[in-house]
Amino acid sequence: MSLRFIPPAAALAVAMAVLLPAPGTAHAADFTVRSVEVPELKGVFGEVKSRTVVPARARIGGTVRSVTVSEGDSVREGDEIALVVDDKNALNLNAADAKLKELQSQLDNAKLELDRAQQLLARGAASQARLDTAKTQFDVATNQLTASEADRAVILQRAREGAVLAPADGRVLTVPVTPGSVVLAGDEIARVASGPYSLRLSLPERHAASIREGGTVRIGERGISQDKAGTPATARPGRIVKVYPEISAGRVMADVEVDGLGSYFVNERTLVWVEIGRRSVLAVPAALIRTQHGIDYVTLATAGGPLDVPVILGERFAGDDGERVEILTGLKDGDVISAAGR
């Protein structure tokens, strides 16, 4: 049996045909473009709100003697935040003390008369009627003294109610009075945001049927600019806890629950992305896109070999295998992107 000589160039071609895949065949790391459904997000501004804002009110009328808190201070329920003084309370207290001394003297005298009447009745020198009269006078004096002590206690309680107490734990938002201000009973001395805090959203009426309690939203970083807030792919999740049933001025309101709002200012705005529907898009992993001279390209695996195709990018979002980028134009469903070309 004779051996046929094979030229080196032909042998190399045969080896490459065996080892290399046929043109247009997808590699194991290649990506096949498929249409996927993604949430359609609408960017709106949410305002940080305290679910309850409780006013601390004056319980008596008078002059504000002192204010111990300022805007931004944290308070505990029952803390004294201001003191209201009514100068008439001191005068009424002096009058009540003088009245008590007078009634105490009358009571002492009635007690002496009662004792004397009892002694005289025992010796037969006085009648039962005199004893009854003395006993009645003693009882009247005792009751008057008790009533006067109760009146004095009311004056003391009114003076103690000059202390304005924090109605709940929270943060002081406003203090509209200063020492020396004259206030009436029921006037607002301070406003306390007792929380918990949530984001209040205001959406156009056309999206009212698209949002629901329990739905997920994306909250950007602190700030009202796009540069500071980031993108939906990097935003943290939040949950819609309440959708208000009343539409006002063409807007529907909703509250979003998210951790970490306690450090925000009340009424501070931040960017929020709300899901208002779903749409089909072509999306590819961000790692398969390269930018050259300001133009974005992907490399397709075609029958004729790798082909660089310019694309126009859309939104970025988080996929199962990392960040993905929406392709607006340049690709179609079923295209194979070559990872080797990247």
State the Cα–Cα distance between residues 204 and 277, nearest whole angstrom: 14
Query: Reduced to 3 DSSP states, what percent helix, strand and coil does the chain have, rounded to the nearest 5?
Result: 30, 40, 30
State the Cα–Cα distance between residues 211 and 242, nearest whole angstrom: 10
Please identify every stretch of the chain with a pLDDT value under 70, giving residue numbers as ranges.
1-28, 320-321, 340-342
Domains of the chain: residue spans and CATH = 24-36+281-337 (2.40.420.20), 42-51+196-278 (2.40.30.170), 56-84+162-193 (2.40.50.100), 87-160 (1.10.287)
pLDDT recorded at residue 167? 93
Cα dihedral 275→280→282→287 (10° resolution): 30
pLDDT recorded at residue 44? 87
Tell me which residue of 259, 115, 150 sits closest to 199, measured CA to CA.
259
pLDDT recorded at residue 26? 45
State the Cα–Cα distance between residues 171 and 163, nearest whole angstrom: 19
